[in-house]
Amino acid sequence: MTIEWRYTTHPNLGVLCLAGHLGPEAVAPFTGAIGWVLARGTGPVILDLTALRGWSVGGQLAVTQAARQLADEGRRLELAAIPADGSLVPDGTHPPIPVHCDLSAALAAHPAVVGEQRQWCSDAWPASTPWRHEA
C-alpha cells in the first residue's frame, strides 16, 4: 500500500495532503511530492495527514528529511493531524516541526491564507477527500 498526494498553493503557503499509508513503499512517492512542492510553492508547507491511515518509522523519517530539505530552501514544514498510531520520531537532526491538531488549526496559524490557489495531485487522489479549507 502506498500514498496519494494533493498539493495546493496559497499565496506564500503550501498544503500537501497525503492519503493512504506512509510506509517503506511510499517513501519514493512522498519524496517526489516534496520535490513537486519545492519546485512550485513558496513559504511554509503544511503537511496535512488527515487522510493518512498510518505511517511507519521509515515514513516518519522521510517526513523529517522533508523538513530538512525545506529548511535548506528557507521554508518550514508544519504537520496537521498526526496519525493516532504514532508520533513523529525526533532524531535531533531536523529543524523544529510545528504540529497542529488539524488542518483548520494549521491554516488559522497563517491568517493571510487568501487569494489565488493552484492545485496538483497524484493520479489516484481520492475524489471524495475534501481538498479545500472552508472558512
Domain count along the chain: 1
Note whether residue 135 is domain-resident: no
Query: Domain with 36 in it: what CATH number?
Result: 3.30.750.24
Q: How large is the greatest C-alpha to C-alpha distance in the chain, in angstroms? A: 37
What confidence tens digit (pLDDT) does each residue in 38-57 have? 998 889 999 999 999 999 98
Q: How crowded is residue 100: how many other Cβ atoms within 10 Å of its Cβ?
A: 18
Domain range enclosing 34: 3-113
Note whether residue 127 is domain-resident: no
Instruction: Name residue 19's beta-bridge partners.
Output: 4, 51
Output the pTM of the full model.
Answer: 0.84
What confidence tens digit (pLDDT) does each residue in 4-42 have? 999 998 888 999 999 999 999 999 999 999 998 999 888
Residues 6+ apart with CB under 8 A from 127: none
